[in-house]
């Protein structure tokens, strides 16, 4: 029996023709690995991701090295990949992080807010409003240097300490980030508890409050196996930016119940089947995740990677 390497294409008229994948494996994925990956391996990972056709590859974070030791080599890593012909956004939690990033010529940054008090405290050691107060001058400074700014909002659907998160609470933080001048938002389901109806309700509410769908990306973790269903719900709403991590790497060190992100290969398989362009070569991407899994010494959790790399 020969394994089918690509899905049959059956387009759906009410979905966008093209999706931009915001690849987070090198950042969201590797920040949560027990073992720290050598800098040169990270650089090679990013090169291979670019070579597989991904055009937006989140490279690392300029956070406190004690908080996320896995990414403590941001200064060494970024120059190794900065010449690649792709966008390489990085996370910055504050002015110190932005200064470090700007010193290396970074052109895209992301601040990361929380929809809940508990996670703002756990992740940033600040209250929610304190963290927004820190981001405001950071966004202003970045925009004055013509740097693209993404605003993440974590815990948009549920929070491990607070439970279900009311939509109005999420909308408030999203609007605050847009008012500061963020170019785009990414709605984080940090612990993977969202379901499709909840996703569509949040998107509708954001539209009603003046946040256009074109400024919204989605960021699903796959803890409860809902990430792909949630993505389809977002696509049906018109979202065209989807975060995913190669091989399904990922999690969040400050939310223990977070598991890997939606696997990029699982996403690409679905999008190809729907006739939606991504520019990604699924074979090359899968080979990259298999290569990375060998470095991490554990198999990829992605179903598509496992199916495509299965040896009969």
Q: Which residues are catalytic?
A: 252
- The rounded distance, in Å, linking the Cα atoms of 55 and 241 is 12
Q: In angstroms, what is the minimal distance from the CB of 61 to ligand HMG?
A: 5
Q: How many residues bind ligand HMG (CB under 6 A)?
A: 26
- 95-124: which residues touch ligand HMG (CB under 6 A)? 96-97, 100, 112, 123-124
Task: Note whether 274 and 15 are within 8 A (CB).
Answer: yes
Q: Is 189 in the site for Mg ion (CB under 5 A)?
A: no
Q: Is 28 in the site for Mg ion (CB under 5 A)?
A: yes
Task: Note whether 19 and 276 are within 8 A (CB).
Answer: yes
Phi-psi domain of 163 (left: phi exceeds 0; alpha: psi -120 through 50; beta: other): left
**Which of the listed partners (ligand HMG, Mg ion, none) does 96 bind, with a CB threshold of 5 to 8 Å by partner kind?**
ligand HMG
Q: Is 220 in the site for ligand HMG (CB under 6 A)?
A: no
- The rounded distance, in Å, linking the Cα atoms of 157 and 200 is 11
Q: Is 154 in the site for ligand HMG (CB under 6 A)?
A: yes
β-pair partners for 33 = none
Secondary structure of residue 241 in the 3-state scheme: strand
**Which of the listed partners (Mg ion, ligand HMG, none) does 61 bind, with a CB threshold of 5 to 8 Å by partner kind?**
ligand HMG
Stretch that binds ligand HMG, among 12-20, 34-42, 91-99, 284-292 (CB under 6 A): 91-99
Among 78, 135, 157, 254, binds ligand HMG (CB under 6 A): 254
Q: In angstroms, what is the minimal distance from the CB of 11 to ligand HMG?
A: 30
Closest chain position to ligand HMG (CB): 188
Nearer to ligand HMG, 151 or 280 (CB): 151
β-pair partners for 245 = 263
- 23-82: which residues touch ligand HMG (CB under 6 A)? 28, 31, 61-64, 67-68
Separation of CA 100 from chain center? 21
* Long-range contacts at 174-179 (CB < 8 A, ≥ 24 apart): 174/206, 174/209, 174/211, 175/209, 175/210, 175/211, 176/113, 176/132, 177/111, 177/113, 177/132, 177/135, 177/139, 177/151, 177/153, 178/151, 178/211, 178/215
How many Cβ atoms from other residues are within 10 Å of residue 201's Cβ?
Answer: 12
Q: Interface with ligand HMG by CB under 6 A: which residues? A: 28, 31, 61-64, 67-68, 91, 93-94, 96-97, 100, 112, 123-125, 152, 154, 188, 190, 219, 221, 252, 254
């Amino acid at each position: 029996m020969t394994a089918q390497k690509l899905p049959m294409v059956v387009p759906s008229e009410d979905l966008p023709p093209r999706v931009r994948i915001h690849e987070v494996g090198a950042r969201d994925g590797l920040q949560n690995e027990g073992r720290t990956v050598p800098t040169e391996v990270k650089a090679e990972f990013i090169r291979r991701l670019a070579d597989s056709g991904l055009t937006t590859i989140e490279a690392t974070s300029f956070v406190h090295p004690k908080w996320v030791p896995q990414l403590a080599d941001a200064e060494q890593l970024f120059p190794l990949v900065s010449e690649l012909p792709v966008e390489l956004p990085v996370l910055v939690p504050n002015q110190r992080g932005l200064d470090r990033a700007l010193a290396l010529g970074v052109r895209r940054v992301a601040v990361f807010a929380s929809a809940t008090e508990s996670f703002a405290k756990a992740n940033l050691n600040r209250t929610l409003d304190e963290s927004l107060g820190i981001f405001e001058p950071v966004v202003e400074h970045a925009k004055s240097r013509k740097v693209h700014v993404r605003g993440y909002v974590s815990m948009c659907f549920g929070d491990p300490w607070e439970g279900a998160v009311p939509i109005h609470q999420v909308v408030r933080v999203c609007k605050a980030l847009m008012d500061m001048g963020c170019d785009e938002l990414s709605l984080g389901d940090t612990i993977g508890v969202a379901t499709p109806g909840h996703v569509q309700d949040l998107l509708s509410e954001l539209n009603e409050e003046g946040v256009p769908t074109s400024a919204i990306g989605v960021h699903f973790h796959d803890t409860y196996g809902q990430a792909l269903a949630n993505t389809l719900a977002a696509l049906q709403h018109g979202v065209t930016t989807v975060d995913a991590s190669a091989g399904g790497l990922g999690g969040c060190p400050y939310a223990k119940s977070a598991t890997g992100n939606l696997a990029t290969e699982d996403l690409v398989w679905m999008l190809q089947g729907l006739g939606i362009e991504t520019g990604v070569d699924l074979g090359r991407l899968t080979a990259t995740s298999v290569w990375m899994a060998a470095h991490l010494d554990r198999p990829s959790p992605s179903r598509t990677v496992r199916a495509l790399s299965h040896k009969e």
